[in-house]
Structures are given as structure tokens and as C-alpha cells.
Structure 1
Amino acid sequence: MDAPWFVYLPLIFALYIFTKHFFHKLRNLPPAPLLNLPCIGHLYLLKKPLYRSLAKISDRYGPVLLLQLGSRRVLLVSSPSAAEECLTKHDVIFANRPQLLAGKHLGYNYTSLVWTSYGDHWRNLRKISSIEILSSQRLQMLQGIRVDEVKSTIRALNRASEQRRMVDMQKAFFELTMNVVMRMIAGKRYYRENVEEVEEGRRFREIVKDTLLLDPSNMGDFLPAIRWLGVGGVEKGLVELQRKRDAFMQELVEGCKRRFKSCGGGDGGDGDVVAEGKTKTMIEMLLALQAKEPEY
């Protein structure tokens, strides 16, 4: 009497693992954990928090590993010398960004600086960022904002100390960072005291909260079937979040144009939005660049 088919499953599985390992060695790929499961690969090894999980994998299997995370291959490098080699000698090979779902919706279809792949477009964005927006001269112009916000945080901590109140330092530093960033970008603060536009501040804090609640390890990026089936509604959440972010930032840009016009800056067209040499925020700097290069 023939044995049932499921009796042969362990043998088939062992043959699958052996074959995968054999071809891995044959192609001279970096070492990988032996158990590479069908469909999910090495995803079973990952747990939260991710950085600790990856550290444990490196400690167990070695400083340079090739992981198969669902449909994506991921090179895990934890050795300083190997990381230096990847980021210097072979930097162009590793320069591209993975096309994740967040980059599609939050990165304007992979065209923003964080998400775009290496090439002319990326080089141009990097030049604008390093020379025009984040240069030493520009940052020095905005030093007063950083000093002011640090003093404000110290005063808030001092008041809490006098009142013997508990202070959440993580929250305090987060609010300090967000106020510095938004004052440099748009000239507005949205946390703690002296928030000029209460409703606008509430909307901004809501957007930040929604962004932080997003799960960066979206399984649909590694298992396409989940995305195709629409499981979890992650993509809908990203689309809605980007709609809110876009609307909010567009209002900041239009507000900057109106302020310039009210100060006698002309008819408010893009060509004369910001007077050369008088920019104060990063939005104004970008509008000045747009006036110089309207075709880009």
C-alpha cells in the first residue's frame, strides 16, 4: 500500500533547503542563515525592536549576511570595516533606494531627496540641499532660532523643577526639535507656549502623530500578495496622510507668498516672491530658487 503524500513533506522540505543552500554557495553570495523558508525567506527571524533583532542575527551568523526578506534581498552589514567598504569603495552600487510603499506616496513617487534613486535628479537635489538650504552660511543665518528654542526649553524645565513636576525628557527634546525644524522651514512654532495659530498647530501635531504611528516595516513591501489583497489598509492610510501633509505644506507656501506681497514685494507672482538676499526661512529660500530656475 502506497504511503500518503504528506509523509514525503519533510524530505521535500529538506531537499528544498539543501538546493537553495547549494545554489547560494555556487553563486558566491555572502553567507546567509541556512533555513530560508518558501515565500517568507528569513522574515521569521525578525522581531521588534528591529535593530536588536538584526544585532542578534549578526552576532549569531556573522558581520556580513545576505537575508531574503520575502521578495527582497537585504544585505546586513554590522562590521565597521565592511560598512566602510560599502559606503566608499562600492558606494555607487549601494546608492539606490528601495522602492517601498511609503516612498511612492510620501516621497512623490520616489522623486524626493530621501527616496529618489542615484542619478542626475538626486545629484541636483543634493546640490540644492547642501549649497542653498543646509550650507554653513544658511544655518548660521538661522542660529538665532536654535538659541531661542533651547532657552525656551530650559525655561520650561526650570518652571517644572520649581513646581516639582515630573518631566518627560523624550517629549521635551522632541518638541524642541520640532519647533526648531518648523521655525527654520516656515518661521512658525507648534509646540508649548506662544503658538500663534492654535488650529494650525493642532493640525500639524495631528499630522506628526499620524506619521509616527505608521509602521515602517510594512509587510506589503516584502510580501507583494499582502499589498495586492489590500490587507491592513496601509496604502489607504498613506494616501490620506499625504493628502493632509500636502494641503498643510501648500498653505505654508501660499502664506509665505502673501506675507511677501503684503510687504511690498510686487504682484505676488513666483518670479518676485522673495527678495534676493533677504530670505529668512527654508520655504523662502526654495521660492527664491524657483524664481531663478522656474523650469526646474
Structure 2
Amino acid sequence: MDSLAILALAIILCLSYFTITKTLRRSQSDNQPRYPPEPTSRWPVIGHLPVLAGPELPHRALAALADKYGAVFSLRLGINRVLVVSSSEIAKELFTTNDTAVISRPAVTASKLFSYNFAMFGLGPYGDYWREMRKITMIELLSSRRMELLRRFRESEVRKSINHLFKVIGDNPEIDLKKWIGDLSLNLMLRIIAGKSSSASDGAVPLKFKTAVRELFHYMGMFVVGDALPFLGWMDIGGHQKEMKRAFRELDGYLQEWLIEHKKNRAEKTEHDFMDVLLSVLDGESLHGYDSDTIIKATSLSMIAGGTDTSTVTVTWAIALLLNNRHVLRKAQEEIDGGVSKERAVTEGDIGKLVYLQSIVKETMRMYPPAPL
């Protein structure tokens, strides 16, 4: 009888333990945020990194996961949780109604090193500094008035690049069009931002700067082990951090040289570029913990990089699509011949009349957005 009583008591205690444990777990899960579903193929420590590192292209791998788990799901890239959105409606709501929740970029190694410790507002966290620098940039560089003032510089650089292209074609009919478009975009941004040009007459120094800018694009899209697994960051697996620091020193050296030159010639200049404008606006004062020199260099680099890469990608894809769809190319040529004439080059003032050409640009950006995955 005693043994039966002990057995019954043990069973009651076990049932009570499991009931209480289950209740506690349920209450804890109710208080925790509900995350979107995530694939079950998650590895310990590294998470879903093997999914993106497989033989399939990343965007196709993500599309396959979206078909299986829905338009919104999450991934674990090392210790980081990532939200994947594959619906235009949800993406629109995310970047309008809930934009402040996703407006900051991840604080990865490349962002920290190339942005002067996040002084580059495009890579820094959302806050007072971000809003202030965005306001200055929109008013002093991207406003309609400023764009009109800079119009002749843009048209001048385009003419110079086309003339150079005709000279090169005479010696060698095979042209790396992507490189030529990239050089044109960089020439244009350097002229607007720093009053410089990376044309061949400037010698080897601009060539080094162009190389460093290309390295910036390369490293900004590179996977660094330390970003997914911070406890391995000190090891610098692959030596990427060392190479990033070298490329940044190269870029900073030129930006510092141009900044000193602008300060020295400030009183004598009649035409002011973006660096001159920033010198006047900041007037040597710090802003949210960053000194004025750092802000000017970081913002200038942000504009140069942002304006160069996106323009190059869009124009390259547009030309590639036109060459592969000759009927579209012919129709665009007919519109230009009819709306502008064959006697002169197209100017920015003509663009408003070229509706079909505008549609080509819009369709190119729809099919191939100028942004990394």
C-alpha cells in the first residue's frame, strides 16, 4: 500500500511539473515578439548562410524560399536576423508607413570603415545627424535650382567624353562600354562635387582614385565573416578588413588634398562646387560629434559613390537592352530625329519632349533596379 501511494504521488508530481512548465513556456512565448516564418534548414551558429552560398544565384534562392514560406519570411545570417520581403505591396507599406523602422543600414565592417565611422549619412543610423545632412544635401546639391546651375557642367562632361570616345574608336573599334560609362559618371560627379575631372590629361593620380572608388563598390557588396559572426572579427578571415583600410586611406588621401586646396582657394573662386558649399554651410563647426572636415569628406564621398554606381548600372543596362531590341532602338532614334533634329546634340532641355526615351529609362529601372541585392 505504501509503495502504491508513493508511485501515485510521483505520477502526480511529474504531471504537475510538466503542466506548470508548459504554462510558463506559453506565457513567455506570448510576451515575445512574433517573427515571420523562417526556413527549417538553419545550421548552428552560421544560420542560413549556406542557402545563399549555394550554386544557385542568391535572388533565385530567395524567390524559391518566398514560394515556400510566403511573401515575408526571415533568415538567420550568423547571429543577425534578416527580414526578406517579396511583395511590392508590403514593400511599399514598409518604406512609407513604417519607414523609420528600416531606414538605417546594417552597421557592417565596410560601412564603418568607408563612412568615417558613420559620418557618411547614407550609411549611418537614422537620427538628428542623418536628417540634418540629408537636408543640406537636398538643398545645396539636389534642388531644382542647384541642378539647373550645374547643368552646363554635366553637358560639358558628356561632350568631352563623347569626343574622347570618337578618338579612341579610330584606333580601336572594340570599346569596353561599361568602363566608358563608369568613367563618364565619375568625371561628372568629381566635377560637381570637387571641381575635378578624372580625364586622361590629369595623369596617374585620378586613375588611382578611380581604382579606389571601384574597390569601394566591391567591398561594400562583399560578405565579411566578422559581420555575421562578430566573435571572429578580430581574426580578419580572408584579409578583407586590411584591404578595406588600405582602399579607404587611398580615398581619404585625395579627399583631404582636395579639401585643403578648396580652403586655400576659397576666396579667389568665382564658381563654387559642393565642397565649397559645405565649407560655407558648416563654417568650421562640428555637428553631432563629427568635426567639419570629416563631415565634408564623408558627404562628398557619399555623393561621388552614390552618383557614380547607380548611373553606370542604369545606362549600361539601357544600352544593352537597346542593342538586343533593335526595333526599340530604331523607334528611339526616330523620336530624337523628329523632336530634336540631326543637326545638334540632345540637351537636357530636350528630355521633356522625348516621351519614348523616358519610357525606356523607366522600363530599364523596373527590370534592373540600380541597387545591390
How would you bin the TM-score normalised by the shorter chain? 0.7 to 0.9
Alpha-carbon distance, 1:162 to partner: 4.8
**Which of residues 184, 202, 207 is equivalent to 1:202?**
207
- 1:42-77, CA deviations, whole angstroms, 9 ceiling, x for partnerless residues? 111103754444344334433211111111011111
Pair 50,112 (structure 1): closer, same or farther in 2 beyond 3 Å? same
Match of 2:22 in 1: none
Corresponding residue SS for 2:191: helix
Amino acid at match of 1:126: R
Percentage of matched positions with identical amino acids: 32
Corresponding residue SS for 2:101: coil
**Which of residues 32, 39, 50 is equivalent to 1:44?**
50
Name the stretch that deviates more: 235-244 or 156-165.
156-165
Q: How many residues were matched structurally?
A: 256
Pair 127,198 (structure 1): closer, same or farther in 2 beyond 3 Å? same
Corresponding residue SS for 1:217: coil
Corresponding residue SS for 2:74: strand
8 Å contact kept, 1:160–1:166 = no
Inter-partner Cα distance in structure 1 for 2:178 and 2:93: 35
Inter-partner Cα distance in structure 1 for 2:171 and 2:240: 43
8 Å contact kept, 2:66–2:86 = yes
Provide the TM-score with structure 2 as the length reference: 0.62
8 Å contact kept, 2:157–2:184 = yes
Query: Are positions 1:128 and 2:120 aligned together?
Result: no
Query: Are positions 1:283 and 2:275 aligned together?
Result: yes
8 Å contact kept, 1:96–1:117 = yes
- 1:193-244, CA deviations, whole angstroms, 9 ceiling, x for partnerless residues? 4x3x314213312322432442522222112233133322222222222222
Pick 1 or 2: higher relative contact order, CA cutoff 8 A, min separation 6.
2
Match of 2:94 in 1: 86
Corresponding residue SS for 1:240: helix
**Structure 1 residue runs of 4 or more that deviate by more than 4 Å after TM superposition:** 160-164
Pair 180,247 (structure 1): closer, same or farther in 2 beyond 3 Å? same
Inter-partner Cα distance in structure 2 for 1:50 and 1:146: 36
Alpha-carbon distance, 1:40 to partner: 1.0
Inter-partner Cα distance in structure 2 for 1:82 and 1:60: 17
CA RMSD of aligned residues (A): 2.6
Corresponding residue SS for 2:222: coil
Pair 142,52 (structure 1): closer, same or farther in 2 beyond 3 Å? farther
Match of 2:156 in 1: 148
Query: Are positions 1:30 and 2:22 aligned together?
Result: no
Alpha-carbon distance, 1:188 to partner: 1.3
Query: Are positions 1:229 and 2:235 aligned together?
Result: yes
Inter-partner Cα distance in structure 2 for 1:56 and 1:148: 47
Inter-partner Cα distance in structure 2 for 1:38 and 1:88: 35
Question: Which structure dedicates a bigger proportion of its chain to helix?
Answer: 2
Query: Are positions 1:256 and 2:259 aligned together?
Result: no
Match of 1:294 in 2: 285
Inter-partner Cα distance in structure 2 for 1:59 and 1:242: 41
| Structure 1 residue runs without a partner (length 5+) | 1-22, 264-273
Amino acid at match of 2:48: H
Inter-partner Cα distance in structure 2 for 1:223 and 1:127: 35
Provide the TM-score with structure 1 as the length reference: 0.77
Pair 49,217 (structure 1): closer, same or farther in 2 beyond 3 Å? farther
8 Å contact kept, 2:115–2:123 = yes
8 Å contact kept, 2:114–2:216 = no
